[in-house]
Amino acid sequence: MSEQQAAGTLGREGASPPVRARNKQKSVSPLRLPFRLEIDPAGKESPWWVTPAAVLLALLVCGVFISLNGMNPFMVYSKMVQGAFGSTFGLTETLVKAIPLLLCGLGVSIAYRIAVWNIGAEGQFIAGAMAATAVTVYFPHLPMYVSLPAMVVAGMAAGGVWGLLTAIPRTYFQVNELITSLMLNYVALLALNYVVFGPWKDPKGFNFPGTPMFTAAQTLPAFGTSRLHMGLLFAAVAVLVYAFVMKYTRWGYELRLIGANAEAARNAGIRISRHVLIVMAISGGLAGLAGMSEVSGVAHRLMYGISPGYGYTAIIVAWLAKLGPIGLVIASVLFGGLIVGGYSVQTIGLPSSTSAMLQGAILFFLIAGGMAGKLRIRRNG
What is the structure's pLDDT at 35? 63
Cα separation, 266 vs 226, whole angstroms: 50
What is the structure's pLDDT at 36? 65
Cα separation, 122 vs 288, whole angstroms: 9
Express each pLDDT in 343-373 by its tens digit.
999 988 888 889 999 999 998 998 888 777 6
Look at residues 134, 137, 150, 170 and name the one whose alpha carbon lies nearest to residue 283: 170
Residue 12 has pLDDT above 70, yes or no: no
Residue 11 lies in a domain: no
Reported confidence tier of residue 10, pLDDT bands at 50, 70, 90: very low
Residue 154 lies in a domain: yes
Residue 247 lies in a domain: yes
Residue 298 lies in a domain: yes
Residue 171 lies in a domain: yes
- 3-class secondary structure, 210: strand
81 burial class (0-12, 13-18, 19+ CB within 10 angstroms)?
A: middle
Residue 130 has pLDDT above 80, yes or no: yes
pLDDT above 90: percentage of residues in the chain: 73
Look at residues 280, 228, 345 and name the one whose alpha carbon lies nearest to residue 121: 280
Residue 58 lies in a domain: no
Mean pLDDT on 289-298: 97
Could you list the residue range(s) of the whole structural domain that residue 290 is in? 102-320
Residue 252 lies in a domain: yes
Domains identified in the chain, total number: 1
DSSP 205: S
Residue 287 lies in a domain: yes
Reported confidence tier of residue 92, pLDDT bands at 50, 70, 90: very high
Residue 27 has pLDDT above 80, yes or no: no
Residue ranges in the chain assigned as alpha helix (H): 3-25, 50-68, 73-85, 88-112, 121-138, 144-173, 177-197, 231-248, 250-260, 262-267, 272-294, 310-321, 325-344, 353-372
Estimate to the nearest angstrom the gap between the alpha carbon of 258 and the chain centroid.
20
Residue 83 has pLDDT above 50, yes or no: yes
Cα separation, 134 vs 302, whole angstroms: 9
Per DSSP, the residues of 87-138 read SHHHHHHHHHHHHHHHHHHHHHHHHHTTT-----HHHHHHHHHHHHHHHHHH
pTM, full prediction: 0.86
Reported confidence tier of residue 15, pLDDT bands at 50, 70, 90: very low
